[in-house]
Amino acid sequence: MLLLIWKSLLHRRLQSLTIVGSIAVGAAIVFSILAVYNGVSSGMELSKQRMGADIVIVPFGETLEPSLLLFGGAAANSYMPKELVDGVRAVKGVHSVTPQFFTHSLSADCHDIGTKNRMIGYDPASDWILAPWLKKVHKTELKDDEVILGAKVPVWAQNKISILGKWYNIIAIAEETGTTLDYSLLVSMNEARRVVSGDRTLKKVWDKMGPPSGLISTILVKVDDDANIDKVVSDIQEVGLMKPIVAAEVKKRIADQFTVFAILIGGIGFLTVLTSLLHLFSRFYTLTWERQAEWGLYLAFGATGRDIGLVIVGEAAAVSLTGSIIGLLLGSGLYKGSLTLLEAYQSFPFVHPSWGFLASIAIGIIIVFTGLGALAAWLPAHQGSRIDPSTVMTRGEFD
């Protein structure tokens, strides 16, 4: 019977391919939407857990998009006086603050990292961001030749990395956070300042604002649980020329955008799937009648109505199965493509879905699409199984 199904599908090659194609498109859209949405959701959740800052304060003149600053790992070379930290710490409702100093890695020679990543110098006295990773490796702070790498920083050697011509010992590779930290190299504040002091392109900045030792790039702020965050932001702005970014608002905006995106693309995916199923139903409904004489012939051979139903459902399930498998291959390409496209447009917290999750949605899509395909052919199969066997004597030639 399997041979019969296979031969019949091959015989109606163009019709079969059309349905396989439309099912593949539907499956590809569903797969990529689920994968992207899962990555964003996980990123949102992780960034909430691990970023640990309610407000991120950057220098007043910073022009980068807040989302790029928080999640994109953009190399930002803008600075403000470190004295502002004490002013912010004194604001009512502020629970804790920690400054960071940014610069970036540049490819200096062939051993170097090869990509431009943000280098973050942290303050061991007040930090709570690196503390969990340092604790894991039984350290209290980083030495000047030690680095913790963000999860998405490329690594070429096992324990060492060359940055701007200097070799660093890799202490740990941080877990994915879905934030800018994933693209960052975390070093001590002193080391970051030492690295940046030699950068000739920033000489004009030091001439204007003073030496790097008196500057910081950002202040991360945690607020008290019962604090009014808008009031805290307003009070921070009174302290000096700074630009406070409320992380929750940025995340909410991104979440809203993704919800709209998911509804829009998901809607298109749903309509594609629905169209495929209607196409499948209509094809098998028509074929059931067109092939009455063929069913009659099988009945004359001794096939039962159930056998005829199985042939029809089997054909539908086979095209649905093929379509969903091809759709998964297309979907993985679509997932990567849409992710690249989305990242070019907007930085957002993103954690790549686990293989387990991808495997489970792949299996789910195969089962659901094959099942729906078989279901769409159920009525035609039911009618096919009830065809009068004597049609073989009365109907015209077969297709």
The shares of helix, strand and coil residues in the chain, as percent rounded to the nearest 5, are 60, 15, 25
- Site size toward other proteins, by CB under 8 A: 31
Angle, CA of 112, 117 and 119, to the nearest 5°:
100
Q: Nearer to other proteins by C-beta: 296 or 353?
A: 296
Q: What is the C-alpha to C-alpha distance for residues 107 and 317, in angstroms, rounded to an integer?
A: 54
Per CB under 8 A, the list member of 4, 227, 268, 375 interacting with other proteins is 4
- Whole-number minimum distance, CB 330 to other proteins, in Å? 28
Question: Site mask, other proteins, residues 373-392, x = CB under 8 A?
Answer: ---------------xxx-x
Per CB under 8 A, the list member of 90, 278, 359, 393 interacting with other proteins is 393
- Whole-number minimum distance, CB 395 to other proteins, in Å? 9
Q: Nearer to other proteins by C-beta: 8 or 184?
A: 8
Neighbouring-strand partners of residue 120: 102, 186
- Whole-number minimum distance, CB 323 to other proteins, in Å? 20
Q: What is the C-alpha to C-alpha distance for residues 304 and 37, in angstroms, rounded to an integer?
A: 47
3-class DSSP state for residue 138? coil
Restricted to residues 276-315, the positions that interact with other proteins (CB under 8 A) are 293-294, 296-307
Restricted to residues 211-270, the positions that interact with other proteins (CB under 8 A) are none
- Whole-number minimum distance, CB 373 to other proteins, in Å? 20
- Whole-number minimum distance, CB 382 to other proteins, in Å? 14
- Whole-number minimum distance, CB 389 to other proteins, in Å? 4
The reply to whether 17 sits near other proteins by the rule CB under 8 A is no
- Spell out the residues 6+ positions from residue 12 whose beta carbon is closer than 8 angstroms to its own: 287
**Which residue, 311, 290, 309, 313, is CA-closest to 382?**
309
DSSP code per residue over 193-233: HHHHHT-GGGHHHHHHH--GGGEESEEEEEE-TT--HHHHH
Q: What is the C-alpha to C-alpha distance for residues 160 and 171, in angstroms, rounded to an integer?
A: 9
Restricted to residues 66-85, the positions that interact with other proteins (CB under 8 A) are none
- Whole-number minimum distance, CB 385 to other proteins, in Å? 9
Per CB under 8 A, the list member of 10, 14, 110, 344 interacting with other proteins is 10
Per CB under 8 A, the list member of 49, 259, 340, 394 interacting with other proteins is 394
What are phi and psi for residue 159, nearest 5 degrees? Answer: -115, -5
Amino acid letter, residue 354: S
| Region of 4-12, 67-75, 190-198, 216-224 interacting with other proteins (CB under 8 A) | 4-12
- Whole-number minimum distance, CB 20 to other proteins, in Å? 17
Q: Nearer to other proteins by C-beta: 4 or 339?
A: 4
Q: What is the C-alpha to C-alpha distance for residues 191 and 142, in angstroms, rounded to an integer?
A: 10
Q: What is the C-alpha to C-alpha distance for residues 171 and 89, in angstroms, rounded to an integer?
A: 30
**Residue ranges in contact with other proteins by CB under 8 A:** 1, 3-4, 7-8, 10-12, 293-294, 296-307, 388-390, 392-394, 397-399
